[in-house]
Structure 1
């Protein structure tokens, strides 16, 4: 196993751990919500707010992930399922979104809870997925959730164009055969669109998916509570 993880960037402690920075970010999220609720574009809003509070690039990234309009928050909440709603259902899981978020969380990177109750991280795939030390534990956490949910089936959806998507598919399929789970793994060219068009219930924290899906489940929020995970969680509101 390699020595990689998805931990903090150098400088993240300075940007996200002090009370002064947190107060600034919470005010920024409030201002961002005000602008988004009045139909300002996300890019324009984050530039205005970022300049006003003199935010650094990664703070703006966290701000964008944590923010939503009042209408988006209401809509997302109305479509959110509880664990008891998943019994005997088929769940579709937004593969890289959830896997990388869990890997980041387990690597003690900062995780940001947004106004919609979803947690997000600052990592990304950037065209290539690389397995890290926390990959298998992340898959095990999904398995623990799956068994407790009494769901019928879970289908992982990964981005086919991302390098190594075939490799992570095989890692999960090996795990499935060892643990006798009713899981499938599929590679799609446009996973976000595939998910909103084909899935009744989606596990994701991707904002576009949450705005366009039928129903969704907040897996990472559930796991933090249920598994009592140690997490560098930054509440952004």
Structure 2
């Protein structure tokens, strides 16, 4: 096992770890919501708001993830399912999105709760996925959820172009076989589009998927409560 994790970046405590910075971010999210609700483009809005509050690059990243228009919030909330809605259903997992967010959470990186009630992190794949110390624990947490929710089947969808996606798929497939779990692990060239068009129920915190999918479940929110996971959580509103 390597010593990697998805913890905080150097400097994150300075820009996310004080009440003053969090208050500033909350005001920035309010301004973003106002602009997005009036159909301003996201990039232009975040540039404007970022400059106004003198936000650093990672603060702007968090701001974008947490923000949404009134219409987006309403639309996403209307499609959000409860744990009781999942029994005997097939659900699709946005593989890297779920995996990396939970790895970050378990690594004590900062996690941000957005206006839509979804949780997001600041890590990314950037073309290559690297397994970390927390990967196995994440897979076990999803297995716990699978048993408790009485979901019929989980289908994991990974990005085919991402290097090492085959390796993580094999790890999850092996785990499922060893533990007799009804899981499929697949990959797609355009997983976002695939999930939005093909999944009745999707697990993701990707904004585009949430806007275009049929129904979604907030797995990270559920796991934080159910498994009592401690997190460096920042509520952005």
Within a 5 Å distance, the mapping from 1:130-209 to structure 2 comes to: 130-209=130-209
Instruction: Give the structure-1-normalised TM-score.
Output: 1.00
Give me the whole-angstrom Cα distance separating, in 2, the residues matched to 1:154 and 1:199: 11
Note the alpha carbon deviations across 1:60-107, whole angstroms, 9 max, x for none.
Answer: 000000000000000000000000000000000000000000000000
Distance 1:87 1:4 in 2: 36
Q: How many equivalent residue pairs?
A: 237
Distance 2:69 2:187 in 1: 32
State the SS of the aligned residue for 1:65.
helix
CA distance in 1, matches of 2:233, 2:222: 14
Match in the other structure for 2:54: 54
What is the Cα deviation at residue 211 of structure 1? 0.1
Provide, for residues 179-200 of structure 1, a one-character-per-residue CA deviation record: whole Å limited to 9, x for no partner.
1000000010000001011110
**CA deviation after TM superposition for structure 1 residue 13, in Å:** 0.3
Q: Which runs of 4+ in 1 moved over 3 A?
A: none
Distance 2:112 2:189 in 1: 28
CA distance in 2, matches of 1:158, 1:223: 21
Residue 212 of structure 1: how far off its partner (Å): 0.1
Supply the distance in 1 between the matched residues of 2:145 and 2:153 (Cα, whole angstroms).
12
Cα distance in 1 for partners of 2:115, 2:132 equals 29
| CA deviations over 1:96-147 (Å, ceiling 9, x no partner) | 0000000000000000000000000000000000000000000111111111
CA distance in 2, matches of 1:176, 1:151: 14
Query: Offset at 1:178?
Result: 1.1
Q: Please give the root-mean-square deviation of Cα atoms over the aligned residues, in Å.
A: 0.4
Please report how far the alpha carbon of residue 17 of structure 1 lies from its aligned counterpart in structure 2 after TM superposition: 1.0
Counterpart residue number, 2:221: 221
SS in 2 for 1:85: helix
Q: Which runs of 5+ in 2 are unaligned?
A: none
> What's the secondary structure of 2:185's corresponding residue?
strand
- 1:24 is aligned to 24
3-state SS of the aligned residue for 2:68? coil
- Counterpart of 1:45 in structure 2 is 45
